[in-house]
C-alpha cells in the first residue's frame, strides 16, 4: 500500500474594515476559503471559524477577545461583539483625558 501524498493547500482570506487602517478601524467583513495549488476549492471556512479568526485580527483588547471566544455559540459571540462595538463607539481614539 502506497503512502498518500500530502497535498499542498493555500488558505485565502479577505479582511475588510470601515476605514483605511485595519489596526484602528472596525471590521466590516471577513471571508476565507482553502484551495489546492490549482485553485480548486477544497473547503470553505465555517462561520464559527471566520468569527474566531476575525476576533483575533480585530483591534479588541485581550479581555474582550477572551469574552468573545468564551461565548457558547455563534449567536452569543455575535451579541458579545456587538456589545463591545457599541460600548466603544463613543470612545475618542487617542484621547488621554479622563472624565
Q: How far apart are CA 57 and CA 42, in angstroms?
A: 24
What's the mean pLDDT when you consider all of the chain? 77
**Residue 10: pLDDT above 80?**
yes
Question: Would the pTM count as exceeding 0.75?
Answer: no
> SS3 string of the chain?
CCCCCCCCEEEEEEEEECCCCCCCCCEEEEEEEEEECCCCEEEECCHHHHHHHHHHHCCCCHHHHHHHHHCCCHHHHHHHHHHHHHHHCCCCCCCCCCC
34-59 pLDDT tens trace? 899 999 999 887 878 877 877 887 77
**pLDDT, position 94:** 46
Q: How far apart are CA 14 and CA 29, in angstroms?
A: 8
Amino acid at each position: 500500500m502506497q503512502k498518500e501524498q500530502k497535498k499542498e493547500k493555500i488558505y485565502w482570506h479577505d479582511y475588510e474594515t470601515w476605514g483605511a487602517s485595519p489596526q484602528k478601524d472596525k471590521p466590516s467583513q471577513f471571508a476565507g476559503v482553502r484551495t489546492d495549488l490549482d485553485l480548486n476549492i477544497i473547503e470553505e471556512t465555517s462561520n464559527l471559524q471566520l468569527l474566531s479568526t476575525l476576533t483575533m485580527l480585530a483591534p479588541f483588547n485581550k479581555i474582550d477577545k477572551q469574552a468573545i471566544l468564551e461565548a457558547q455559540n455563534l449567536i452569543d459571540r455575535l451579541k458579545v461583539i456587538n456589545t463591545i462595538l457599541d460600548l466603544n463607539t463613543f470612545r475618542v481614539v487617542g484621547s488621554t483625558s479622563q472624565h
